[in-house]
Amino acid sequence: MSSFVDSAQLHAKAGDGGAGCVSFRREAHVAKGGPDGGDGGRGGSVWIVADHNQASLLGFRDHPFRRATDGQHGTSKRQHGSGGKDITVTVPVGTQVFSQEGELLVDLSGPGDRWLAAEGGLGGQGNARFLSNQRRAPAFAEQGEVGQERWYNLELKLQADVALIGFPNVGKSTLISRVSAARPKIADYPFTTLVPNLGVVRVGARSGRPQDATEFVMADIPGLIEGAAAGRGLGHDFLRHVERARVLCVLLDLSELAPIGPREQLDILLRELGDYQADLLERPRVVVGSKGDVAAHEFEGVLTISSVTGEGIDQLVAQLAGLVLQVRREEAEQQDHTVVVHKPLPDEIFVERDGQNAWVVEGRPAIRAVRFQDLTDDEALAEIVRRLRALGVDRMLTRAGVRDGDVVTIGPLSFEWWRDEVGAGLDRGDHHRASRRERLARHGRLDLGDSDDDS
């Protein structure tokens, strides 16, 4: 089984927030002690971090699940629960993260780049947080928020210095095994290599002076065929590893077993590269005639090598090292990479119709506003009304076309919408208190009344 994996899935589950505590101070010689419930701790988040020490996505193949810890609940005496620990999921540099629908979410192209894959749930506030001059003994607290849970598709684009490109069975694996310590599978049939192989090539070291050596990473890309740019023969899976290579080394089969001549090979390979990504043709490249020890074709103007006898190998390695150093200098002059921290955009609130007389309000801020432990407590309902008004939910519902008697659902909370001369929207008017039990029995959930806003 191959140890190189360039695509995998990740299931990120952030920790849930701890619940706030409902508690009142009860001590000897302390009359009418006030609320002293502590807050719940925040759940841990899941971060994806690009690490140059990771070479593939092998660790996700059999174990895609990564979960952060939950926050602890608050307790009495204003003791807050401890927060959950964030976890860091390391991936190779060059990893792209996609949604299940195929949308590219982030490209971790540099070492240290970070992305928030799942945000931990907020801890609930204890009843001590809701003490005010108008509310002297709040008997409610917030529930902890559920942490985000997501599935992602991960894809790796190698960031090699040199990419070996050629038809199947052209000698790429033999060459990389000759110039590096890589030991890929080698056989005399096409498509022996099904996943890229990486090798570190060291050149130019003097005796006792290893600091004078030049090192570069060479990638053995699985063989390309005509139509690869259109996806034929897993072409897209192979070609994406060429995108970030600094230098291209194109190998042409000069033996009599080659299906077509070297000129046709070169034309097809360059055409496929250009069709897949036009700027690949602008990359520095070296064209090499392979299998020089059994050559049956000639191609003037290109270097001929033999990975079996060693002919031309030193010359090729030196030429590639020179091009790699040149490209590295140019990149360094342009800019130094700075670590980028990627975070999703803040969640928005939106209203959707959920039937003929039903509406659903979606969005994390709105759901956070109603996360109370007891949705039948009048003071908790008053706090919910205040929060939803501040978020502009009543105005959004009005613009969406909600009508009197429609049922609106926000997370675990449902209420009937009313608008008349007494009040409108989210305010709990006296004319609805009497019928609350009837509505509760009808919908199986708590109903709120209307707001005084006329907007």
**Rounded percentage of the chain residues whose pLDDT exceeds 90:** 35
Distance set, CA 179 to CA 50, 116, 280 (Å): 28, 40, 24
Q: How far apart are CA 125 and CA 342, in angstroms?
A: 28
Report the predicted TM-score, pTM, of the whole model to 2 decimal places: 0.66
pLDDT score for 31 = 62
Those residues with Cβ within 8 angstroms of residue 426's Cβ, 6 or more apart along the chain or in another chain:
385, 388, 389, 393, 394, 415, 448, 449, 450, 451
Compute the average pLDDT of residues 336-349.
75
Q: Is the pLDDT of residue 207 over 70?
A: no
As a CATH number, domain 350-443 is 3.30.300.350
Share of the chain above pLDDT 70, in %: 79
**Mean per-residue pLDDT, 85-93:** 92
Q: Are 201 and 215 in contact (CB under 8 A)?
A: yes
What CATH number should be reported for the domain whose range is 162-334?
A: 3.40.50.300
Residue spans of the domains in the chain: they are: 1-156, 162-334, 350-443
To the nearest whole number, what is the mean pLDDT of the chain?
80
- CB neighbour list of residue 239: distance below 8 Å, 6 or more residues apart: 224, 228, 229, 272, 273, 276, 277
CATH entry, 1-156, from 1.10.357.10, 3.40.50.460, 3.40.250.10, 2.70.210.12: 2.70.210.12
Confidence of residue 125 (pLDDT cuts 50, 70, 90): very high
Confidence of residue 431 (pLDDT cuts 50, 70, 90): very low
pLDDT (mean) for 392-402: 89
Report the range of poorest mean pLDDT among 129-138, 208-217, 303-312.
208-217
pLDDT band at 237 (very low <50, low <70, confident <90, very high): low
Look-up: residue for tokens 């990504």?
277
Place of tokens 């009495």: 76
